[in-house]
């Protein structure tokens, strides 16, 4: 929206809220990147260190909650301002969830480091992780730029992701059938893949808040989804 507020400290508040979201998002992205790194390296110690850092994101989310209530109380924002404050509150929640999911990946990495490696499947999981990491980065750029086209682009990208998840699911089921000793590793990898897939959903939520914030409407069309893993059956040969 054109023009600054007559009360300049109101602009300061809104900018502060933006910075908090960017800080949270940056942390969430870094946590995911390092969680994937620890997973690929089968490094339990690194995984433990990263998992412990999740509290930083939790703390920031609480700060955003409190500050949002303060801004709502003191400024009583309307129209685009109101939508901006509400979007920040909601985005903080999704970023916090992304942080939780990274922590869970770290915990599973600690378990995985004690069982034989699952080479190629691990590669696919890492690729999914990097894809979602890029989605997080792009959605934060879109958030700050208030760029709906960029947000919509990320929103649609979640689909390629669903395809990867489905093919990985089939792959892991096949491994488990081939050799029951793979079940522990494969099950953890399935959950990790599911975690990453959930992160993608959280990113698309933020894409929807950006649309709400900028144009004041929600996406009418259904998001393109291609996660067939819930329907997948792999029968023994």
Query: Which positions touch other proteins (CB under 8 A)?
Result: 1-7, 10, 76-83, 216-217
State the nearest-atom distance from the C-beta of 71 to other proteins, in Å: 13
CB of 67 to other proteins, least distance (A): 19
- Would you say 148 or 177 has its CB closer to other proteins? 148
Q: Is 189 helix (H, G, I), strand (E, B) or coil?
A: helix
Please identify, using beta-carbon distances, which residue of 80 and 126 lies nearer to other proteins.
Answer: 80
Structure tokens at 68: 């949002």
Compute the least distance from the CB of residue 3 to other proteins, in Å: 4
Integer Cα distance of 122 and 119 in angstroms: 5
What is the secondary structure of 91-111 as a DSSP string? HHHHHHHHHHHHHHHHHHHHH
CB of 45 to other proteins, least distance (A): 50
Which of residues 4 and 230 has its CB atom nearest to other proteins in the complex?
4
Q: Could you give phi then psi for residue 222, rounded to 5 degrees? A: -75, 145
Query: With respect to other proteins, which residue has the nearer C-beta, 216 or 224?
Result: 216
Please say which residue, 87 or 229, places its beta carbon nearer to other proteins.
87
Give the C-alpha distances (Å, rounded to integers) separating 66 from 20, 26, 88, 215. 12, 20, 12, 26
Q: Would you list the DSSP string of 132-176?
A: HHHHHHHHHHHHHHT-HHHHHHHHHHHHHHHHHHHHHHHHHHHHH
CB of 66 to other proteins, least distance (A): 22
Q: Which is nearer to other proteins, 79 or 233 (CB)?
A: 79
**Sole residue written with tokens 């509290």:** 55
Least distance between other proteins and beta carbon 1 (Å) = 6
């Amino acid at each position: 929206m054109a023009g600054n507020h007559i009360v300049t400290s109101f602009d300061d508040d809104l900018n502060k809220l933006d910075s908090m979201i960017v800080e949270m998002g940056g942390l969430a992205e870094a946590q995911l990147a390092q969680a994937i790194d620890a997973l690929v390296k089968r490094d339990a110690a690194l995984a433990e260190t990263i998992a412990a850092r999740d509290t930083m994101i939790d703390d920031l989310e609480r700060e955003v909650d409190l500050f949002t209530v303060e801004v709502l109380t003191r400024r009583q924002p309307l129209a685009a301002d109101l939508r901006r404050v509400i979007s920040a509150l909601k985005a903080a929640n999704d970023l916090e969830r992304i942080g939780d999911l990274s922590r869970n990946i770290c915990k599973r990495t600690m378990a995985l480091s004690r069982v034989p490696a699952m080479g190629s499947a691990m590669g696919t999981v890492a690729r999914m992780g990097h894809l979602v990491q890029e989605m997080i980065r792009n959605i934060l750029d879109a958030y700050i730029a208030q760029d709906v086209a960029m947000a919509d682009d990320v929103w649609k990208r979640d689909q390629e992701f669903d395809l990867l998840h489905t093919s990985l699911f089939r792959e892991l089921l096949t491994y488990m059938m081939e050799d029951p000793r793979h079940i522990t590793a494969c099950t953890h990898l399935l959950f990790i893949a599911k975690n990453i897939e959930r992160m993608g959903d959280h990113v698309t939520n933020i894409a929807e808040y950006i649309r709400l914030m900028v144009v004041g409407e929600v996406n009418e069309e259904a998001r393109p989804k291609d996660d067939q893993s819930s329907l997948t059956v792999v029968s023994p040969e």
